[in-house]
Structure 1
């Protein structure tokens, strides 16, 4: 007779165990849902600039942002390949520097490194007004044609770009890869012979190799 209470307790405990286990299982999905909800809240709370922005087929820069980003002392170096106006192969580095800048104008110097140009004015500061295009590879009052949005890989890294064709009254003919989140910097440039000049065999490709930010 003394064993009966123990037997009863054992039966009760046995009945409780599955119920307790089911309770823990029921709690697990609930915790997962709460964790997901908390993560979603954190994502919504992120500042706008931290969230990836969609790059649209439109000019990615405005004049003010280019002027603000391209400070005095900024240096860009490009790997240069292709052929010159006479069709001769070129293989060099192309260095561009912002020598001075203010709210209205920018002064730049660009030249090849291994075989620098000996032309008069090659190392003189060229001054021009800011625009919504890069101060380097300047085209006078260009007509632009939007081509596509493209990811491009160059020696300096991987960049999301808007590809644009630039032409002007004097026959300049460029295709540029405007880095969406780096105002004033082209990841890649293709320079073609001047429009209307059949003797101009220029076919140069400039690929961004390094960026030194100014102050």
Structure 2
């Protein structure tokens, strides 16, 4: 006589339901037990996979492994049309005078592939050419402070305090083919928004370097969204 391993109460109840549905019988009992065992195995595998994922994340954190905090889709989702950002500027202009200005960033439209932004300084509000939306492709970086043909190097995790508040960030170095060079503080839970940006002098364009010979720092002042 074939013996079956003891079943948990809930599993036995499930087997009985299956037996009734199948009309009973030796083959039906075997099928029902197989299905119940398979369900248990799948649940165990899912739990083990979740535990393995958590262990891997803990290991990376312990080893100091830094991961990119944003995804392509997360940036698109977070930067809704009507989002308005403001950064205060600190540094010196080309004449060595302190900069007293603010940079505004606004989301004016987007689709699955591209986003339309407007990016302007308080000092440029009266320049029509500046006050026009620009299009950029979506990516894993912010569409603001856009750098063409860029490469990103993750540096460290860091908490930073700016006028808009204190944010947990991943700090990265962004360099471009045409000499652009930024250090950015990517807010971990605000995809597409930098808490702080340091804009370094251009390393390849002499005119751009003459226009901005020293570092300029941008600190986030506010995040506004339309209801």
Q: Give distance in 1, aligned partners of 2:215 and 2:108.
A: 28
The answer on whether the counterparts of 1:171 and 1:195 sit within 8 Å (CA) in structure 2 is yes
Residue 117 of structure 1: how far off its partner (Å): 5.9
Q: Give distance in 1, aligned partners of 2:72 and 2:80.
A: 13
Q: Which runs of 5+ in 1 are unaligned?
A: 1-52
2:93 counterpart residue number: 84
Give CA deviations for 1:157-190 in whole Å, capped at 9, x if unaligned: 0100000000011100100000011000000000
Larger Rg: 1
Q: Give distance in 1, aligned partners of 2:172 and 2:86.
A: 21
Residue 154 of structure 1: how far off its partner (Å): 0.5
1:75 counterpart residue number: 84
Q: Which runs of 5+ in 2 are unaligned?
A: 1-56
Q: Give distance in 2, aligned partners of 1:98 and 1:82.
A: 26
Looking at secondary structure, tell me which structure has more helix per residue. Answer: 2
- Matched ranges for 1:26-45 at <5 A: none
Give CA deviations for 1:11-60 in whole Å, capped at 9, x if unaligned: xxxxxxxxxxxxxxxxxxxxxxxxxxxxxxxxxxxxxxxxxx98761211
Q: Which protein has greater RCO, CA pairs closer than 8 Å, 6+ apart? A: 1
SS of equivalent residue, structure 1 residue 89: coil
Q: Give distance in 2, aligned partners of 1:162 and 1:154.
A: 15
1:212 counterpart residue number: 224
Give the CA RMSD over aligned residues: 2.0
> Which of 162, 165, 168 is matched with 2:173 structurally?
165
The answer on whether the counterparts of 1:99 and 1:108 sit within 8 Å (CA) in structure 2 is yes
2:72 counterpart residue number: 63
Decide which moves more: 82-91 or 185-194: 82-91
Question: Are residue 193 (structure 1) and residue 201 (structure 2) matched?
Answer: yes
TM value normalised by structure 1: 0.69
Q: Give distance in 2, aligned partners of 1:142 and 1:195.
A: 14
TM value normalised by structure 2: 0.66
1:144 counterpart residue number: 152
